Amino acid sequence: MRQVVVIPKGDNPAPFSNNLVLFYFEHKWMKRMRQTNNILAIKFSHTFRYIDDLLAINDGGMFEQYYKEIYPEELELKKESTSSITCTFLDLKIDIKDKVFFTSLYDKRDDYNFKIVRLPYRCSNIPKTMFVSSIVAEILRIARVTSSFQPFLTSVQTLVKRMINQGAQIIDIRAATHRTIIKHWEDFKKFSITSRVLLGSIFI
């Protein structure tokens, strides 16, 4: 069988081609709106796209109303969020509470009904430093995408527990995490606690 419609999924140029095609339709529509209905165009100021994932913030429902004018009819869009105050976008879970945006880590693999191997096992053929670095890099990523402490703590403790089951030594993770917190304190200080309390909370 030969695929005759669109670019085969997984090909190296597919993401770039996807971006170019979607940008063409978006730019064409926005350019027309800027000339004919600038107030409507401004409503799309906080609409973001990463390849084929879209997020529309504070647009008054305009994207959902006009997306069929933007994209060709053969492009099917699927709405994933069912609420106007919570949604997921890439690795973010976004909640609105009292008109304030809160973000936390979202991993769609958590919704799978089967086990997924995440990050390497210590018994794999990689250096110990690389193995530990992959864990603390994930901790740093969680800190950067999470806006409040409790969701951060829950995600990190789940990660640490999983990696210990995959052969990590808690003393190694703790030492590397401490160095990461000190080096990247700008990403952790939003939790409004000291580095010592932060470290102690993770590794009870």
Dump pLDDT digits (tens) for 18-61: 899 999 999 999 999 999 999 999 999 999 999 889 999 889 88
Q: Please indicate, yes or no, whether residues 155 and 193 belong to a single structural domain of this protein.
A: yes
Residue 135 has pLDDT above 70, yes or no: yes
Residue 4 has pLDDT above 80, yes or no: no
For residue 164, what are the CA distances in angstroms to 101, 123, 150, 168? 33, 12, 21, 4
Q: Please indicate, yes or no, whether residues 75 and 140 belong to a single structural domain of this protein.
A: no
Rounded to whole angstroms, how far apart are CA atoms 88 and 99? 17
The predicted-structure confidence for 67-104, as pLDDT tens digits, reads as follows 999 999 888 888 888 888 899 999 999 999 998 999 99
Q: Please indicate, yes or no, whether residues 148 and 71 belong to a single structural domain of this protein.
A: no
**Which distant-in-sequence residues (6+ apart) come within 8 Å of 130 by Cβ?**
none
Q: Is residue 113, in this structure, part of any structural domain at all?
A: yes
Q: Is residue 85, in this structure, part of any structural domain at all?
A: no
The predicted model gives 123-144 an average pLDDT of 95
**Which distant-in-sequence residues (6+ apart) come within 8 Å of 49 by Cβ?**
22, 26, 55
Q: Is residue 44, in this structure, part of any structural domain at all?
A: yes
Q: Which residue has the tokens 């053929």?
A: 125
Q: What does pLDDT average to over the chain?
A: 91
Rounded to whole angstroms, how far apart are CA atoms 177 and 136? 6
Instruction: Indicate the number of domains in the chain.
Output: 2
Residue 7 has pLDDT above 90, yes or no: no
Q: Please indicate, yes or no, whether residues 112 and 193 belong to a single structural domain of this protein.
A: yes
Q: pLDDT exceeding 70 applies to what percent of the chain?
A: 96
The predicted model gives 141-149 an average pLDDT of 96
Q: Is residue 90, in this structure, part of any structural domain at all?
A: no
Q: Is residue 170, in this structure, part of any structural domain at all?
A: yes
Q: Please indicate, yes or no, whether residues 115 and 181 belong to a single structural domain of this protein.
A: yes
Domain that holds residue 60: 14-79
The predicted model gives 6-23 an average pLDDT of 80
